[in-house]
Structure 1
Amino acid sequence: EDTPIKAKKPKKKMQFNKKIMDSIKESCSTVVGSCAVDKLTEKQEMVGEIERLKKEIKNLEEDWKYERSYRLKAERTKIME
Structure 2
Amino acid sequence: MIFYTNTPGLVVNSKKANRTIARFDKDGKFETHNPAIIAKMREHFRNNGIDFKSLSYWDLKKMAEKKGIETHKIKQADLIKALEEGER
State the TM-score bracket (shorter-chain normalisation). Answer: under 0.3
Which of 1 and 2 has greater Rg?
Answer: 1
Task: Compare the two structures and name the one with the higher strand fraction.
Answer: 2
Q: Give TM-score scaled by structure 2 length.
A: 0.19
Q: Give TM-score scaled by structure 1 length.
A: 0.20
Task: Compare the two structures and name the one with the higher helix fraction.
Answer: 1
Give the number of the structure with larger relative contact order, counting CA–CA contacts within 8 Å between residues 6 or more apart: 2
